[in-house]
């Protein structure tokens, strides 16, 4: 990848203290990039704090075994962040995604740089190290660590493995190439353990979660000649299983795995006149446009809508719009 790391290497070598930040609702690429880079900079004798706007979600907390990521407003203030020589933003280049850290960053007297792979881009800092073809920010951090000539340890390699594995959907997204596997090989040689990473991420379901998925899968209906699959999790399903609404998060992807299905929708009943819907689609279809008709939004292949309507009413309106979009 043709990024010129020299200006950032110079900045790093000339500085002593660093604050690393990423986007709100941080994912494994955000957190893994922060942790990998923090440990690498510490290997150079630098002082590093990781300060995010949001806490690490509990289901990925094991990426940070020493619990060193701080949350703005909890143990750390804007003034603490301003005390650093350098402020680095990882895995976003949009002011909006920084939440309350945006103001901290804007008003900081620190030198600033961004390392990111997203398309959307504000001019956050004079030093923007962006490579939109990179499969993960973790991949760019690995390149930086190697450019700094720091020995990869298991501690540095493991969070970077989390970052690349999750941002590539475990090595299957179109961004993946031979270079991805060569980077992963270096991380595994350094001590990252794919089996352990996978297991800490995906073998942590509760019985209730698996059971509520079962109820959603049992009720799948096909429409539009098998091109639309839809189902619902009702209040009664939550009561029967003891599952939480958040337990239904990814079940919609199972509906999309049915051969011939182009759009999948899972409704979740939240109350007598309140529900939401998750939409997923294959690349030929854009579900964001359908979601936007009802005030929702998201991405072309993954969108969501909230309704202040009874479940049956929301179902008939949204499914009619999806079917119309398939014509």
What is the Cα 33 distance to its own chain's centre? Answer: 12
Shortest distance in whole angstroms from residue 183 CB to Mn ion:
14
Q: For 175, list phi and psi in degrees, rounded to 5.
A: -70, -10
For Mn ion, the closer of residues 26 and 304 by Cβ is 26
Shortest distance in whole angstroms from residue 199 CB to Mn ion:
22
Shortest distance in whole angstroms from residue 91 CB to Mn ion:
5
Q: Which residue is nearest to Mn ion (CB)?
A: 29
Shortest distance in whole angstroms from residue 172 CB to Mn ion:
16
The residues, any chain, with a CB within 8 Å of residue 125's CB and separated by 6 or more, are: 89, 112, 113, 114
Shortest distance in whole angstroms from residue 167 CB to Mn ion:
5
Burial of 218 (0-12, 13-18, 19+ CB in 10 A): exposed
Distance between CA atoms of residues 275 and 304, nearest Å = 11
For Mn ion, the closer of residues 29 and 237 by Cβ is 29
Structure tokens given for 257: 């795995």
Distance between CA atoms of residues 142 and 197, nearest Å = 17
For Mn ion, the closer of residues 155 and 167 by Cβ is 167
Shortest distance in whole angstroms from residue 126 CB to Mn ion:
22
What is the Cα 244 distance to its own chain's centre? Answer: 21
For Mn ion, the closer of residues 88 and 232 by Cβ is 88
Distance between CA atoms of residues 179 and 173, nearest Å = 14
For Mn ion, the closer of residues 143 and 167 by Cβ is 167
Residues in contact with Mn ion by CB under 5 A are: 29, 91, 137, 167
For residue 117, the 8-state DSSP code is -
For Mn ion, the closer of residues 91 and 155 by Cβ is 91
């Amino acid at each position: 990848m043709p990024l010129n790391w020299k200006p950032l290497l110079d900045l790093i070598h000339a500085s002593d203290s660093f604050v690393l930040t990423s986007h709100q609702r941080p994912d494994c690429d955000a957190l893994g990039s922060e942790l990998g880079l923090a440990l690498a900079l510490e290997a150079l004798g630098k002082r590093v704090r990781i300060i995010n706007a949001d806490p690490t979600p509990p289901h990925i907390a094991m990426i940070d075994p020493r619990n060193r990521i701080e949350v703005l407003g909890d143990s750390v203030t804007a003034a603490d962040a301003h005390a650093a020589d350098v402020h680095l933003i990882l895995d976003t280049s949009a002011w909006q995604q920084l939440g309350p850290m945006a103001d901290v960053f804007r008003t900081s007297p620190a030198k600033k740089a961004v390392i990111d792979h997203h398309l959307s881009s504000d001019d956050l800092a004079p030093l923007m190290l962006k490579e939109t073809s990179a499969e993960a920010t973790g991949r760019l951090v690995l390149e930086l660590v190697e450019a700094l000539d720091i020995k990869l340890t298991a501690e540095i390699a493991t969070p970077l493995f989390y970052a690349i594995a999750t941002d590539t959907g475990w090595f299957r997204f179109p961004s993946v190439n031979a270079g991805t596997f060569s980077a992963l090989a270096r991380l595994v040689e350094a001590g990252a353990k794919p089996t352990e990473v996978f297991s800490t991420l995906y073998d942590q379901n509760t019985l209730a979660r698996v059971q509520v998925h079962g109820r959603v899968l049992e009720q799948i209906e096909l429409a539009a000649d098998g091109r639309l699959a839809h189902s619902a999790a009702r209040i009664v399903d939550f009561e029967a299983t003891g599952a939480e609404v958040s337990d239904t998060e990814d079940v919609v992807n199972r509906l999309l795995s049915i051969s011939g299905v182009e759009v999948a929708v899972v409704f979740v009943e939240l109350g007598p006149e309140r529900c939401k819907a998750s939409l997923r689609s294959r690349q030929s279809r854009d579900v964001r446009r359908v979601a936007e008709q009802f005030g929702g939004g998201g991405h072309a292949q993954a969108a969501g809508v909230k309704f202040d309507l009874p479940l049956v009413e929301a179902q008939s309106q949204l499914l009619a719009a999806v079917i119309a979009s398939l014509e």
